[in-house]
Amino acid sequence: MGAGVLCGLLAGAFWGLVFLTPRLLPAFTPWELSIGRYVCYGVIALMFLAPALRRTLARVDRHDLAAMVRQSLAGNIVYYILLAYGVQLAGIAPTSLIIGLLPLLVTLMGRADHGAIPLKSLAWPLATVAAGIACINIDLFTHSASGASGRSLMQNVAGVVCAVLALLSWSWYTLDNTRYLQRNAKFTGGQWSALYGLTSGAIALVMGLVGLLLFAPQITGAAAQATGRDWTLFWLVNAALALGASMIGNQLWNIASRRVPVTLSGQLIIFETLFALLYGFVYGQQWPRPLELAAIVLLVAGVAWAVRKHAEVRPAEPAAKALDGAHG
């Protein structure tokens, strides 16, 4: 189980980078960031599948295609658009910590899975995580009310709403992905992740072409250039994100999800939140405020507590495919 926890930590380190991208590319809209990232992911997935592309695609039926489309939208494109809006409107810390509620939802959704320990055994660890989430929300709106954040109350509210919707989108994807892979074992985790990435790339490419046809002046015209759009940096950052967060991060998560129960998988996703916070504080060259620090401590304590609970119980057989494929 230790190797699974380590892989979950490393996946979180890669995934945490997605919260930094909207800050690195502030001149681009969340729609553009999502399209850029997933077009790059689709290209990388195509390269990964190339040696066996024809054989792999021949095994895809209409049910697989429907699953890939809905999961690509919920777990990738829509999720990332909402996340990026959350970061731009409310900031990295509130958005990452609100989405950090995912362990609570995944644990609840996976409570009946094989290998899961009784939910009552996780009551206090989950309560600790919830207390951490409460701290960051109190900090956000207290800071907003004082005017120190530079954002209006409405911006923060809109950012929180986007973060909550991103959380719901990814939670729905997680449940759908887990159930589908448990019912269909014809694809490995790597193959499904690549097919899912290829589908995301195709959808993003269509969205990009439609957007370019309808809004070309706003995207590439003089007014757009005046906002400081650096398209070279845009593609470099998104290519790095697609390779690191989408491809490598997903593969690490596939390893982790096969070695730990689904209830523990849910807790390990919190590493994404913690790394997002770390990157955000380093990029902003600031220390966390007291309530932000309290939130981080509570989240770490909650995850560590959950790990210890699982080590004490030692389920006979982890849920092999829980959360397999993760989020691209």
Query: Are residues 204 and 35 in contact, defined by beta-carbon separation less than 8 angstroms?
Result: yes
Q: First vs last Cα of the chain: how many Å apart?
A: 24
Give the pLDDT confidence score for residue 193 in this predicted structure: 77
Going by pLDDT thresholds of 50, 70 and 90, the confidence category of residue 262 is low
Give the pLDDT confidence score for residue 35 in this predicted structure: 93
Residue 203 pLDDT > 70:
yes
Residue 76 pLDDT > 50:
yes
Q: Does residue 309 form part of some domain?
A: yes
Residue 320 pLDDT > 50:
no
Give the pLDDT confidence score for residue 218 in this predicted structure: 60
Residue 195 pLDDT > 90:
no
Q: Does residue 328 form part of some domain?
A: no
What's the rounded Cα separation, in Å, for the pair 67 and 63? 6
Q: Does residue 77 form part of some domain?
A: yes
Residue 227 pLDDT > 70:
no
Mean pLDDT of the chain: 80
Comparison of pLDDT for 77 and 156, the residue scoring more: 77
Q: What sign does the dihedral 105-303-177-117 (CA atoms) show?
A: negative
What's the rounded Cα separation, in Å, for the pair 152 and 165? 20
Whole-structure pTM value: 0.81
What's the rounded Cα separation, in Å, for the pair 184 and 195? 14
Comparison of pLDDT for 72 and 299, the residue scoring more: 72
What's the rounded Cα separation, in Å, for the pair 129 and 169? 20
Residue 75 pLDDT > 80:
yes
Give the best-scoring range by mean pLDDT among 2-11, 107-116, 259-268. 2-11
Q: Does residue 149 form part of some domain?
A: yes
Cα atoms in the 13 Å half-sphere on the side-chain side of 223: 5
Q: Nearest to residue 137, comparing CAs of 275, 30, 294?
A: 294
Give the pLDDT confidence score for residue 238 in this predicted structure: 94
Structural domain count, the chain: 1
Q: Does residue 101 form part of some domain?
A: yes
Give the best-scoring range by mean pLDDT among 157-171, 209-223, 256-270. 157-171
Give the structural domain span for 76: 2-313
Comparison of pLDDT for 229 and 234, the residue scoring more: 234
Give the pLDDT confidence score for residue 84 in this predicted structure: 93
Q: Does residue 115 form part of some domain?
A: yes
Q: Does residue 24 form part of some domain?
A: yes
- Residue 221 has φ and ψ, to the nearest 5°, of -75, -175
Q: Does residue 102 form part of some domain?
A: yes
pLDDT per position as a tens digit, 114-156: 556 677 777 888 888 888 878 877 877 777 665 555 667 788 8
What's the rounded Cα separation, in Å, for the pair 142 and 153? 10
pLDDT per position as a tens digit, 232-259: 899 999 999 999 988 888 778 777 777 7
Going by pLDDT thresholds of 50, 70 and 90, the confidence category of residue 211 is confident
